[in-house]
Amino acid sequence: MRTEVAIVGAGPAGLLLSHLLAQDGVESVVIETRSREYVESRIRAGILESSTVELLDAVGLGERLHAIGDQHRGIYLQWPGERHHLDFVDLAGRSVWVYGQTEVTRDLGRARDAAGQELIYEVTETAVHDVETAHPYVTFVDADGNDVRLDADVVVGCDGSFGPSRSAIPDQAKQTWERTYPYSWLGILADVAPSTDELIYAWHPDGFALHSMRSAAVSRFYLQVEPGADINTWSDDRIWSELAVRLGHGQDGWELTPGPITDKSVLPMRSFVSQPMRHGRLFLAGDAAHIVPPTGAKGLNLAVADVGLLAPALVALLRKRDSSLADAYSDTALRRVWRCTHFSWWMTTMLHTSGDPFDAQLQLSQLRWVCTSEAGARGLAENYAGLPIGF
């Protein structure tokens, strides 16, 4: 097989990149190790920042988002006895949208179908070759067991944290940074209307809790738990009673309404950056190059921002033989990556309890400052609601 851009991974980064390239007449093939059903129902992120929404709108992918998504002006930050609203629209002139990654992935899949795009699911043994030459290629075994070689002008690794693309960059040509946090998130989905109009981020001596949502009928919650916590020790009753305590059920008349839990998972928390995001004819985008803890709601948005930069760079490279944007891609993308890495680390360390009483006092002081100083609130708002594409 031959194409112009071989894309490894059909997550949000890979599918959106393929869509953006097609808009400028650049052909791509996307290969994916999982089934389409699995990819489209994988419960992950759910908050879109303003620049993500603007990009999806601009490329004809905003219709369902505006029909069933929910626009939020800001978030609540709280600690025992106090809840404060930060209004991002007033503070930073931008809002965020609640729209699940499952929906984003479905929209992208449908758009690729409508364009007659080749998406190859359930491949195995993916390997990336000869990226330091002008003739890179990808090999894999398709769902029928056939060995396939896919030749391309460019290979893009959108294969998440554990895909093979990043390791095609030799160790001596890359540098990595990693921070593992001493806690995990227990995440649940519940068939119950949210007990809040906007997300609640709660600091509590027993650990962080987050009340998020996916729709008017589906709520999403997270609890800080021990790293690698055993999900079997978290019964539904235990989860709801812990959420009630940490989110302040009864505080100023606020009530948490429980409901049937439909999904439960434990998510480790880590920060990771690998640079450069380009090596020869191989480019990396999204989780393939960087991971953030989800406290700042940045993972999906960063993946979108990467491909928002990469698509025009590849179009210029392949159509005009102009390599300037492609040469600048890694440095430009990494500026935003590091900004979001810092913001995600900052939100995480401000809100998760470590068990150290000194840390707790610093966290409470920081929270009070963010909620009472306009400068503090604006800093959080500007980062959370999202910096412009190309920042």
Ligand X SMILES: Cc1cc2nc3c(=O)[nH]c(=O)nc-3n(C[C@H](O)[C@H](O)[C@H](O)COP(=O)(O)OP(=O)(O)OC[C@H]3O[C@@H](n4cnc5c(N)ncnc54)[C@H](O)[C@@H]3O)c2cc1C
Beta carbon of residue 288, minimum distance to ligand X (angstroms, whole number): 6
- Between 34 and 264, name the residue whose CB sits nearer to ligand X: 34
Beta carbon of residue 15, minimum distance to ligand X (angstroms, whole number): 8
203 neighbors 78 (Cβ within 8 angstroms): yes
136 is an interface residue for ligand X by CB under 6 A: no
Structure tokens at 208: 């962080």
What is the rounded CA–CA span in Å between residue 109 and residue 44? 17
Beta carbon of residue 304, minimum distance to ligand X (angstroms, whole number): 8
Judged by CB under 6 A, the residue of 68, 267, 316, 360 near ligand X is 267
Judged by CB under 6 A, the residue of 8, 154, 168, 282 near ligand X is 8
What is the rounded CA–CA span in Å between residue 344 and residue 333? 16
Q: Quote the strand ranges of the chain, DSSP E.
A: 5-8, 28-31, 47-48, 70-72, 74-79, 82-87, 96-98, 119-120, 124-129, 137-141, 147-151, 154-157, 175-190, 200-202, 209-213, 219-225, 261-275, 278-279, 282-284, 290-291
DSSP-assigned letter for residue 317: H
101 is an interface residue for ligand X by CB under 6 A: yes
Beta carbon of residue 92, minimum distance to ligand X (angstroms, whole number): 19
224 is an interface residue for ligand X by CB under 6 A: no
What is the rounded CA–CA span in Å between residue 391 and residue 386? 10
Judged by CB under 6 A, the residue of 20, 22, 128, 158 near ligand X is 158
Judged by CB under 6 A, the residue of 11, 207, 248, 308 near ligand X is 11
End-to-end CA distance of the chain, in Å? 37
Of 145-153, 156-164, 325-333, 353-361, which segment contacts ligand X by CB under 6 A? 156-164
Could you say which residues in the range 159-198 bind ligand X, by CB under 6 A?
159-160, 163-164
Cα 123-127-131 angle, rounded to 5 deg: 135
208 neighbors 247 (Cβ within 8 angstroms): no
Give the x/- contact pattern for ligand X in 20-39, rule: CB under 6 A: -----------xxxx----x
Judged by CB under 6 A, the residue of 297, 314, 315, 380 near ligand X is 297
Q: Phi and psi (nearest 5°) for 130?
A: 55, 40
Beta carbon of residue 295, minimum distance to ligand X (angstroms, whole number): 9
168 neighbors 278 (Cβ within 8 angstroms): no
Of 7-15, 60-68, 235-243, 329-337, which segment contacts ligand X by CB under 6 A? 7-15
> Locate tokens 């601009």: which residue?
58
> SS3 for 194?
coil
Could you say which residues in the range 298-317 bind ligand X, by CB under 6 A?
299-300, 303
What is the rounded CA–CA span in Å between residue 99 and residue 68? 8
Judged by CB under 6 A, the residue of 19, 44, 73, 204 near ligand X is 44
Cα 39-146-314 angle, rounded to 5 deg: 55
Structure tokens at 310: 């990469």
| Half-sphere exposure at residue 79, Cβ-oriented, CA atoms within 13 angstroms | 18
What is the rounded CA–CA span in Å between residue 374 and residue 379? 9
- Between 89 and 120, name the residue whose CB sits nearer to ligand X: 120
- Between 11 and 62, name the residue whose CB sits nearer to ligand X: 11
Judged by CB under 6 A, the residue of 5, 6, 7, 13 near ligand X is 13
Of 20-28, 92-100, 269-277, 286-294, which segment contacts ligand X by CB under 6 A? 286-294
Of 9-17, 74-82, 170-178, 349-357, which segment contacts ligand X by CB under 6 A? 9-17
69 neighbors 56 (Cβ within 8 angstroms): no
Q: If binding means CB under 6 A, how many residues of this protein chain bind ligand X? A: 30
- Between 38 and 369, name the residue whose CB sits nearer to ligand X: 38
Of 143-151, 292-300, 322-330, 347-355, which segment contacts ligand X by CB under 6 A? 292-300
**Residues with catalytic function:** 72, 201, 294, 298, 384
Beta carbon of residue 276, minimum distance to ligand X (angstroms, whole number): 17
Binding-site ranges for ligand X (CB under 6 A): 8-14, 31-34, 39, 44-45, 101, 123, 126, 158-160, 163-164, 267, 286-287, 294, 297, 299-300, 303
